[in-house]
């Protein structure tokens, strides 16, 4: 009953209609895939000349070096964005009006500014090296977005818990560290991971400022006339790796959330059933 309380159970005719729709959709999807494969074969994207470059050690080292540079830029910008987000969120939650308005102005400005504009500004106007310029742009944008995530996560905690903590004599920093933040993290975690996935994908903007990241390495291979311009093969090699890294981040979020649910602090302590005639501490004895 609980599984069907919100909708009507489909009858025989509806189930037949659903199977027909499913079969038709499957045929359409398979037709689109067959058409795409036909175009790839027709344009000779699977010829040996276009795939042979990936057998060379130099090409493999170029891709691995680009992947390492991508992960380096992502790791640095992710850590700095989390720190900046925490600082800006603290400012937005501050009771001091000047600090709160200053943090709000910074958050709104960097959220509205395109990432590429910030990266180019730091790289061209400030004459910074490609890696620091890329990290700076990613940190400012993602940090400002994460600041709003942190703020809304803390504000989503029931107000009564904040008031109860203050009633116990806890200071504001203690309330934030021991009451609000631990509960808000569970609600914020999916959004935080989603924003980190955005940061990972935005590292590909580094190729526009000649940072030798993964996409830049693929561009060098795809635009090489000696390899018959293997653009599609490069895309088919690089795209699954990007997708795999994003899926690993999502998997990490699932594991962390599961570990939080299994935390010793949140697990109930097993209590053995009381024997007949047992008197609980503080309970009056029977006459």
Q: Report the pLDDT value the prediction gives residue 175, as an integer from 0 to 100.
A: 80
Could you tell me the CA-to-CA distances from 43 to 53, 83, 97, 185 in Å, in that order?
A: 18, 48, 63, 50
User: First-to-last CA distance in the chain?
Assistant: 49
The pLDDT of residue 261 is 66
Q: Output the DSSP codes for 69-98.
A: HHHHHHHHHHHHHHHHHHHHHHHHT-S-HH
Task: Check residue 5 and give its pLDDT.
Answer: 53
Here the contacts of 153-157 (C-beta below 8 Å, separation 24 or greater) are: 153/184, 153/185, 153/187, 153/188, 153/191, 154/89, 154/93, 154/180, 154/181, 154/184, 156/184, 156/187, 157/183, 157/184
Give the pLDDT confidence score for residue 121 in this predicted structure. 93
Residues 6 or more apart from 130 whose CB is under 8 A from it?
A: 123, 206, 209, 210, 211, 212
The pLDDT score that the predictor gives to residue 263 is 58
Residue 259: how many CA atoms within 13 Å on its side-chain side?
A: 8
Give me the pLDDT at residue 9, please: 74
| pTM tops 0.95 | no
Q: pLDDT tens, 64-97?
A: 999 999 999 999 999 999 999 999 998 998 888 8
249 and 200 Cβ atoms separated by less than 8 Å? yes
Q: What are phi and psi of 232, to 5 degrees?
A: -65, -45
Digit-coded pLDDT (tens) for 34-65 = 999 998 888 888 888 888 888 899 999 999 99
Q: How is domain 57-260 classified at the architecture level of CATH? A: Orthogonal Bundle (1.10)
Residues of the chain with pLDDT under 70: 1-8, 257, 260-287
Contact 89, 154 (CB under 8 A): yes
């Amino acid at each position: 009953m609980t599984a069907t309380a919100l909708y009507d159970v489909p009858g025989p005719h509806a189930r037949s209609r659903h199977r027909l729709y499913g079969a038709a959709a499957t045929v359409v999807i398979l037709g689109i895939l067959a058409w795409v494969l036909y175009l790839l074969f027709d344009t000779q994207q699977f010829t040996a000349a276009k795939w042979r470059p990936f057998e060379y050690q130099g090409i493999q080292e170029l891709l691995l070096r680009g992947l390492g540079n991508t992960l380096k830029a992502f790791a640095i910008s992710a850590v700095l964005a989390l720190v900046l987000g925490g600082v800006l969120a603290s400012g937005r939650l501050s009771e001091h009006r000047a600090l709160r308005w200053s943090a709000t102005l910074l958050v709104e400005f960097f959220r509205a500014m395109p990432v590429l504009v910030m990266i180019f500004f730091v790289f061209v106007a400030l004459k910074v090296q490609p890696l620091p310029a890329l990290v700076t742009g990613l940190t400012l944008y993602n940090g400002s977005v994460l600041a709003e995530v942190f703020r809304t996560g803390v504000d989503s905690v029931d107000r009564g818990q904040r008031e109860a903590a203050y009633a116990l004599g806890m200071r504001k920093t203690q309330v934030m560290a021991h009451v609000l933040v631990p509960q808000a993290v569970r609600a914020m975690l999916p959004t935080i991971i989603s924003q980190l996935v955005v940061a990972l994908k935005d590292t590909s903007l580094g190729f526009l400022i000649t940072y030798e990241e993964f996409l830049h390495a693929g561009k060098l291979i795809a635009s090489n006339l000696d390899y018959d311009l293997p653009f599609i093969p490069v895309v088919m090699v690089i795209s699954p790796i990007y997708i795999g890294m994003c899926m690993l981040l999502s998997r990490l979020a699932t594991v962390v959330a599961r570990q939080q649910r299994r935390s010793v602090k949140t697990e109930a302590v097993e209590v053995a059933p009381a024997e007949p005639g047992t008197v609980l501490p503080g309970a009056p004895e029977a006459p």
